[in-house]
Chains A and B, each alone.
Chain A
Amino acid sequence: MNAANYLYVSALLFTIGAIGVVVRRNAIVVFMCVELMLNAANLAFVTFARINGNLEGQVVAFFTMVVAACEVVVGLAIIVTIYRSRRSASVDDASLLKR
């Protein structure tokens, strides 16, 4: 199968993730969309590793998974704290700083 198709899928996933970050209001969903974008980048890395015929891209994918896991730890901690203070995880409610 043509490897370029995986690049199209990756670009599509990245776009879905980016649109999700912009339009969704729940912090958890926004965060999931960011993770989707990271995975889209991972897919692109692995596809390019296949196209270029070396392993570096696959190595990057492993690093990205570890970093994404760390990001989940920090991100969920912040979102849970803010949920406990406000009883809401909506990013629209967090608007004290605009005023």
Chain B
Amino acid sequence: MSIFTAPVLNYSLLAPILIVLAGAVLGVMIEAFASKAIRPVAQLSLTLGTLILAIAQVWRIRHQSSLTAAMGSVAIDGAAILMQGAVLVIAILGVLLIADQEQFTVLAAAVPGSEEERESLESGQKLTEVYPLTLFAVAGMLVFPVSNDLISLFVALEMLSLPLYLMAGLSRRRRLLSQEAALKYFLLGAFSSAFFLFGAAYLYGYSGSVSLAGIRDSVVGGSGNDVFFLIGIAFLSIGLLFKVGAVPFHAWTPDVYQGAPTPVTAFMAAATKVAAFGAMLRIFYTAFANAYWDWRPLMTVIAIITMLFGSFVAIAQRDIKRMLAYSSIAHAGFLLAGVIALNKAGLDASIFYLFAYGIATVGAFAIVTLVRDSTGEVTDLKRWAGLGKRSPFAASLFATFLLAFAGIPLTSGFIGKFSIFSAAYESGNKAIVVVGVLSSAIAAYFYIRVIVLMFFTDPADDGTSVVIPSMLTRITVIAAFIITIFLGVFPAPLLNFITSLAYFIR
């Protein structure tokens, strides 16, 4: 009989993840036992409290690092701390948007247009399941970038995806569209995680170990069957590239961004990108670093196609959410340039870029939730004409976020793009820098076109207006605006902080 040894866990280092999971479980309990009247307030305060507590824990452990926090399954190091912090900050801003319950249906199971749905809406109840779902997704996003073996990578990938599939289908208006987005997101997401798992199986076959360190040892030692390695790296990358929305695995992005309730889109677009790129950076910088000759050429091609495709197709979009979706594809291309750079500067730049881009994305989608007419949100770009004349404040904030996406100086986007491209240049990859700058110029065209449309076109009289935002939405927008400008004008404190912390332990 073999002896079972209990695993040793370092609870102090795992605190952020455990707190978020505990908050999510408590949220399910509230959902089951609390009365309907107190649920919205209880859930919102529990969710925000959990996230703030988790941030405090991340701050507390910022200088620590350990490979043995959970028996080698997770690696807590500077880069992990930064990624977790970014996810949590974005999640707090996202939850403040999700708290605007106007966006969500009350009874997700009710058939659209049915008597049941009408009654549930008239009862004035709120949908509160979305808070625990958000916390479960956040927990997955905290585990994904710190995972140090293939098992926790796969489990974290599913843990962050499954709640998001459900959240995409919860929109109150245009419910068929929303359900369709959920179906597409789910089927394509499950398809890509099957690829991820199959790749993981072949990497295990190649190295005989599921840990990233074991795979790295095999790569360095050159032992093992190279065919297994190539199959493994290709299929694993497909799964990761799908999550970040890189061409040719981007097909879900515009549909899901458009169909999902806008607060969910804001949270998902920003936080998933941080988590997925966090995991990608760890895998490629540690496990696959020494085999860069095998993956760098193809990844360079994918990055170039992604940047160009995202920028060109965004020009043709007539829907603001779809336009932002294609712009997120282009940004995935810029971030891939940071992954390919494979140097310390690339890591620092990617983390800064992820944070800056995530905050600006939440802010931009927050403004989209405010532009409404009598039937709900207005996402048709034509009807945004003249918005700057009617509501100059909201339109100027939106213009700031667009300028940050375009990478105009004095916004966070400029510092992000500049540091990513200089890291790519440093690594000797000039093609990607040239294409990156070119596609930034193309992208600037459609961002500035929206600004021109808002400020220099006469408004059409069709009932489109900016609603007075709730206190929570206002906090999100203002915070996102301040961070975007601050990082553009005084990037040094955050850049230095990232440079001092960003490293991967092996």
Chain B residues in 8 Å Cβ range of A59: 151
CB of A88, distance to nearest CB on chain B (Å): 12
CB pair B183–A79 under 8 Å, yes or no, is yes
CB pair A96–B176 under 8 Å, yes or no, is yes
Chain B residues in 8 Å Cβ range of A84: 111
CB of A75, distance to nearest CB on chain B (Å): 6
B265-322, CB < 8 A from A? none
CB of B156, distance to nearest CB on chain A (Å): 10
Q: Quick one: given A48-B201, A56-B204, are A63 and B166 in contact (CB under 8 Å)?
A: no
CB pair B205–A51 under 8 Å, yes or no, is yes
Q: Quick one: given A37-B194, A67-B155, are A81 and B205 in contact (CB under 8 Å)?
A: no
Chain A residues in 8 Å Cβ range of B191: 18, 21, 34, 37
CB pair B187–A27 under 8 Å, yes or no, is yes
CB of B462, distance to nearest CB on chain A (Å): 20
Q: Quick one: given A44-B202, A60-B204, A97-B255, are A86 and B176 in contact (CB under 8 Å)?
A: yes
Tell me the complex Cα distance, A27–B180, Å.
Answer: 11
| Chain A, interface SS category | helix
CB pair B179–A75 under 8 Å, yes or no, is no
- Which of B175, B182, B259 gathers the greatest number of chain A CB atoms within 10 Å? B182
Tell me the complex Cα distance, A36–B201, Å.
Answer: 15
Asked if B210 is at the interface (CB within 8 A of a chain A CB), the reply is yes
Q: Which of A40, A49, A56, A91 contacts B198 (CB 8 A)?
A: A40
Tell me the complex Cα distance, A51–B183, Å.
Answer: 38
Tell me the complex Cα distance, A67–B161, Å.
Answer: 11
Asked if B200 is at the interface (CB within 8 A of a chain A CB), the reply is yes
Chain A residues in 8 Å Cβ range of B180: 82, 94-97
Which residue of chain B is the closest to A98 with respect to CB atoms?
A: B255
CB pair A78–B194 under 8 Å, yes or no, is no
Which residue of chain B is the closest to A14 with respect to CB atoms?
A: B198
B94-124, CB < 8 A from A? 108-109, 111-112
Tell me the complex Cα distance, A38–B11, Å.
Answer: 32
CB of A57, distance to nearest CB on chain B (Å): 6
A-B contact count (CB 8 A): 133
Tell me the complex Cα distance, A59–B108, Å.
Answer: 36
Interface bits B134-166 vs A (CB < 8 Å: 1, else 0): 000000000000000011001100100010011
Chain A residues in 8 Å Cβ range of B175: 85
Asked if A5 is at the interface (CB within 8 A of a chain B CB), the reply is no
CB pair A74–B208 under 8 Å, yes or no, is no
CB pair B166–A78 under 8 Å, yes or no, is yes
Asked if B209 is at the interface (CB within 8 A of a chain A CB), the reply is yes
Chain B residues in 8 Å Cβ range of A48: 201-202, 204-205, 208
Chain A residues in 8 Å Cβ range of B169: 78, 81
Q: Which of B108, B190, B204, B254 contacts A34 (CB 8 A)?
A: B190
CB of B110, distance to nearest CB on chain A (Å): 9
CB pair A96–B197 under 8 Å, yes or no, is no
CB pair B108–A81 under 8 Å, yes or no, is yes
CB pair A81–B179 under 8 Å, yes or no, is yes
A-to-B contact residues, CB < 8 Å: 7, 10, 14, 17-18, 21, 27, 30-31, 34, 37-38, 40-42, 44-45, 47-49, 51-54, 56-57, 59-60, 63-64, 67, 70-71, 74-75, 77-79, 81-82, 84-86, 91, 94-98
8 contacts between A and B (CB under 8 A): A7-B205, A34-B191, A38-B197, A48-B205, A60-B210, A78-B165, A97-B177, A97-B254
14 extra interface residue pairs, beta carbon distance < 8 Å, beyond A38-B197, A45-B200, A48-B204: A31-B187, A41-B198, A49-B204, A52-B204, A57-B201, A57-B210, A63-B151, A71-B162, A75-B190, A81-B182, A91-B187, A94-B179, A94-B183, A96-B180
B-to-A contact residues, CB < 8 Å: 108-109, 111-112, 150-151, 154-155, 158, 162, 165-166, 169, 175-177, 179-184, 186-187, 190-191, 193-195, 197-198, 200-202, 204-205, 208-210, 254-255, 258-259
Closest 3 CB pairs of A and B: A37-B194, A48-B205, A44-B201
